[in-house]
Copies of this chain bind each other. A is one copy, B any other.
Amino acid sequence: MSLDRVTKEHRVESVERALSILEAFSDRRRNLALSELADETGLYKSTILRLASSLERYGYLRRDDASRFRLGPSLWRLGSIYRQDFGLGEHIRPVLRRLVTATGETASFYVLEMDERLCLYRENSPNSVRHHLEEGSRLSLDRGAAGHVLRAYGAGSGNAQQLLRPDGGCISVGERNPDIAAVAAPVHDRDGALHGALAVSGLRSRFDAERRTHALELVLEACRELGTVA
């Protein structure tokens, strides 16, 4: 009987213990002491040291001069391969940059992963000093224009359709962050399947209704352009 692979019973407990060590890190917690890892994962320190030794050997973890653990270079290397698999290569940054220039706001590209969105590319606006979000960030799908777009086109969520405009894009104001407004639209690949969502976002005080409408036009046009290379 063929179970769904992700939920199937097969598992290797040691591997999942090791991965749970890696999962303890976040952009707010980029280095951790042994005791902190023990607290976070519930693993014994001796267990962590053994697992960490293997992770270090393969470059997934490292230890700094103060014996604190940090994530290792193999993650960046393999993560970059994951991103390359979306096939946007050298095309997306110029497109994002044009959007930044034309709108004065930050431009991003998100993909749908499970029940979240993941930021693959981001070009910050020189104007946005406290709009801090990094490539690699995970965000929810239930707030923000890009979340609605990914939910509507990719996750088959009926209610997200209602949040879309007739042109297929979406505008949100102060949903994920009260001060931020965003516009987004879907990028489809040649087969018509959802590839990701292109978004422009900025402080709502500057990114007003008129500018949002104009930005969405530019985003929709950029999505059509990206759709020809995906």
Contact = CB atoms under 8 A, between A and B. Distances in A.
Interface of A: 5-6, 8, 10-12, 14-16, 18-20, 22-23, 25-27, 30-31, 49-51, 53-60, 63, 70-85, 89-90, 93-94, 111, 113-114, 118, 120, 123-124, 126, 134-138
B5 A53 contact: yes
A121 B26 CA distance: 20
Contact of A80 (B6, B84, B135): B135
A12 B51 contact: yes
Contact of A76 (B16, B71, B93, B118): B118
A142 B164 CA distance: 54
B82 A76 contact: yes
10 contacts: A10-B49, A15-B18, A20-B58, A23-B58, A27-B84, A59-B114, A71-B79, A75-B78, A77-B79, A89-B134
A58 B16 contact: yes
Given A5-B53, A19-B54, 4 more contacts: A12-B51, A27-B81, A79-B80, A80-B136
Contacts of A82: 70-73, 75-76
Nearest to A26: B81
A114 B77 CA distance: 14
